[in-house]
C-alpha cells in the first residue's frame, strides 16, 4: 500500500517573505491528517506545491516518490478542494463536473455518483453562481472525489458549512481514510479538527511546529489546573504559593491554581483550617494546547498594530 505524501525540505519564498520554510514531513495513507496553523502559516502554499500548482523555491513534494506534475491524468491520482470560489459561475454543477471528467478521462457516470455523494443531486442543473457558500464547498468536494483518487487534499473544507454539513464532512473524511486513502485536511481551527483527525501537523510561520498523533498532541497540552473557591482567598493564596503553586484570581472570587493537585490543595486547606466551597480539576482543551503551541507564530493578533 502506498500513496505517501512526502515533503522534503520544502521551501517557498515570495520576495523576502518565506511562506513555507524547510518543511520535511510524511503524510500516510489510512489516516485523516489535520494540517493546522494560524492564518498565513503557509498551509495553502504547501497544498499547492503538493499539487504542482506552485513551484517550490527549493526542496520537493512528492506522492509515492513522484512529483504531481509528472503524473498524467491528475484527478485519478489526487483530488483537492482548494478555493471553493474558484469556479465558472455561469455553469451548472453537472456541466462543471462533466467538463472536468472529460478532460481527465473519467467516466460520465462518476458525475452523478459524486453529486449524489455530496448531496447536490437535486441542484445538478442549477448554475453555480446561485450556490450558497456551503453548496460551493460541497461541489468542491465533489470535484476532489470525481477521479476516485487515493490521495485527497482539502483546504479549509469546513468553511461555510452548517452543523449538519460539518458532521457529514467529518464522516466522509473518516470513511475515505478507512478505505485506505491518504486524507490531508487544512484548518486554522482546532475545534473542527479534533473530531475527525487521527494525526496532526502543526505549522507556524511556514515552519513545522509539531507532527504527531492526536493522542500525543492532547497529552502534551494537558497541563491541568484546579479551580478553588474559598471564603478566605487571601489566606489560601499564601498557603498555596508557599508550596510553589501558581495562583491566579478568576471570576467571582475563584482561584485558578496550577502546580498542585486537587487532593494536595484540599489537604493544605484542611491543615490550615481554611474552608473550601469548590475544588474542580480542569484539563486544558485541545484548542488551548493548539493556541499555546502556536502563540509565538501568530502573525495577526486582534487589536494590534502591524509589527
Q: Which is nearer to ligand ATP, 37 or 74 (CB)?
A: 37
Residue of the chain from 11, 33, 45, 225 that contacts ligand ATP (CB under 6 A): 45
From the list 2-10, 36-44, 129-137, 262-270, the region that binds ligand ATP by CB under 6 A is 36-44
State which residue, 37 or 221, has the beta carbon closest to ligand ATP: 37
Instruction: Tell me which residues in 187-246 interact with ligand ATP (CB under 6 A).
Output: 188
CB of 289 to ligand ATP, least distance (A): 19
Nearer to ligand ATP by Cβ, of 45 and 230: the residue is: 45
Specify the residue, 40 or 79, whose C-beta has the smaller distance to ligand ATP.
40
Among 14, 88, 180, 219, binds ligand ATP (CB under 6 A): 14
Out of 3, 5, 23, 40, the residue judged to bind ligand ATP by CB under 6 A = 40
**Stretch of 38-46, 138-146, 192-200, 273-281 contacting ligand ATP, by CB under 6 A:** 38-46
Please state the φ and ψ torsions of residue 277, each to the nearest 5 degrees: -105, -15
Q: In terms of CB distance, is 33 or 45 closer to ligand ATP?
A: 45
Q: Which of 5, 10, 27, 41 binds ligand ATP (CB under 6 A)?
A: 41
Of these, 31, 43, 170, 181, which contacts ligand ATP (CB under 6 A)?
43
Q: Which of 39, 70, 72, 305 binds ligand ATP (CB under 6 A)?
A: 39
Cβ-based neighbour number of residue 86 at 10 Å:
8
Q: Does 153 bind ligand ATP (CB under 6 A)?
A: no
Contact present, 36 and 30 (Cβ < 8 Å): no
Q: Please state the φ and ψ torsions of residue 145, each to the nearest 5 degrees.
A: -85, -15
Q: How many residues bind ligand ATP (CB under 6 A)?
A: 12
Q: How far is the CB of 187 from ligand ATP (least distance, A)?
A: 8
Q: Which listed residue (29, 37, 149, 165) binds ligand ATP by CB under 6 A?
A: 37
Beta bridge partners of 61: 7
Phi/psi class of residue 119: alpha, beta or left (left: φ > 0; alpha: ψ in -120 to 50)? Answer: left
What is the smallest separation between the CB atom of 19 and ligand ATP, expressed in angstroms? Answer: 3
| In the complex, minimum distance from the CB of residue 38 to ligand ATP, in angstroms, rounded to a whole number | 7
Name the nearest CA neighbour of 277 among 221, 231, 243.
231
What does the binding site for ligand ATP look like in residue numbers (CB under 6 A)?
14, 17, 19, 37, 39-45, 188
Amino acid at each position: 500500500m502506498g500513496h505517501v505524501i512526502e515533503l522534503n525540505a520544502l521551501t517557498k519564498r515570495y520576495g523576502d517573505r518565506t511562506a513555507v520554510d524547510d518543511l520535511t514531513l510524511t503524510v500516510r495513507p489510512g489516516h485523516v491528517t489535520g494540517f493546522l496553523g494560524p492564518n498565513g502559516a503557509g498551509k495553502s502554499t504547501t497544498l499547492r506545491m503538493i499539487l504542482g500548482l506552485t513551484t517550490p523555491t527549493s526542496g520537493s513534494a512528492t506522492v509515492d516518490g513522484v512529483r504531481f506534475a509528472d503524473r498524467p491524468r491528475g484527478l485519478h491520482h489526487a483530488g483537492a478542494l482548494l478555493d471553493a470560489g474558484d469556479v465558472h459561475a455561469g455553469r451548472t454543477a453537472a456541466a462543471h463536473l462533466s467538463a472536468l471528467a472529460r478532460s481527465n478521462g473519467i467516466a460520465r457516470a462518476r458525475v452523478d455518483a459524486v453529486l449524489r455523494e455530496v448531496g447536490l443531486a437535486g441542484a445538478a442543473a442549477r448554475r453555480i453562481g446561485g450556490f450558497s457558500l456551503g453548496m460551493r464547498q460541497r461541489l468542491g468536494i465533489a470535484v476532489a472525489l470525481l477521479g476516485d483518487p487515493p490521495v485527497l487534499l482539502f483546504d479549509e473544507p469546513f468553511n461555510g458549512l452548517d452543523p449538519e454539513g460539518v458532521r457529514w464532512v467529518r464522516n466522509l473524511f473518516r470513511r475515505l481514510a478507512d478505505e485506505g486513502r491518504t486524507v490531508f485536511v487544512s484548518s486554522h481551527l482546532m475545534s473542527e479538527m479534533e473530531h475527525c483527525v487521527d494525526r496532526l501537523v502543526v505549522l507556524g510561520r511556514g515552519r513545522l511546529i509539531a507532527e504527531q498523533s492526536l493522542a500525543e498532541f492532547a497529552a502534551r497540552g494537558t497541563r491541568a489546573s484546579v479551580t478553588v473557591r474559598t471564603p478566605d482567598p487571601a489566606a489560601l493564596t499564601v498557603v498555596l504559593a508557599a508550596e510553589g503553586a501558581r495562583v491566579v484570581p478568576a471570576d467571582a472570587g475563584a482561584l485558578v491554581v496550577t502546580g498542585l493537585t486537587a487532593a494536595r490543595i484540599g489537604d493544605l486547606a484542611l491543615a490550615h483550617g481554611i474552608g473550601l466551597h469548590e475544588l474542580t480539576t480542569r484539563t486544558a482543551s485541545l484548542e488551548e494546547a493548539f493556541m499555546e503551541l502556536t502563540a509565538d507564530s501568530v502573525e495577526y493578533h486582534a487589536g494590534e498594530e502591524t509589527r
